[in-house]
Amino acid sequence: MKSPTMIIRILAVVILVSASLATWAADSASACSCARPDPKEPREKYSREQIEKSAGAFVGRVVSKIDPLQTENEWSSGNTVIYTFSVDSIAKGNLTDYVVVRSAVHGATCGFEGGIPKGDQAGILLRVDDDGNYTSGLCSTMDIDDMKSVVQLSEPDPNLIVHRWLPLLTNLLRRLFSEFVSDFDAAHQTGSLE
Could you tell me if residue 3 is inside a domain? no
Residues in the chain: 194
For residue 123, the cross-strand partners are 59, 142
Tell me how far apart the alpha carbons of residues 62 and 47 are, in angstroms, rounded to a whole number: 22
Kindly give the confidence (pLDDT) of every residue in the chain, 194 residues in length, as a single tens digit, with 9 standing for 90 and above: 567 676 666 665 555 545 444 444 433 344 577 777 787 888 888 899 999 999 999 999 999 888 776 544 445 556 788 899 999 999 999 888 889 999 988 777 788 877 788 889 999 999 998 888 899 998 899 999 999 999 989 888 767 655 555 656 666 676 676 666 566 555 555 655 55
Find the CATH number of the domain harbouring 79: 2.40.50.120
Number of domains in the chain: 1
> For residue 107, what are the CA distances in angstroms to 131, 144, 191?
22, 20, 40
Tell me how far apart the alpha carbons of residues 56 and 134 are, in angstroms, rounded to a whole number: 9
Per DSSP bridges, beta strands 80-92 and 134-135 are: unpaired
Could you tell me if residue 146 is inside a domain? yes
Could you tell me if residue 2 is inside a domain? no
Q: Which domain holds residue 67?
A: 43-189
Q: Considering the entire predicted model, what is its pTM?
A: 0.64
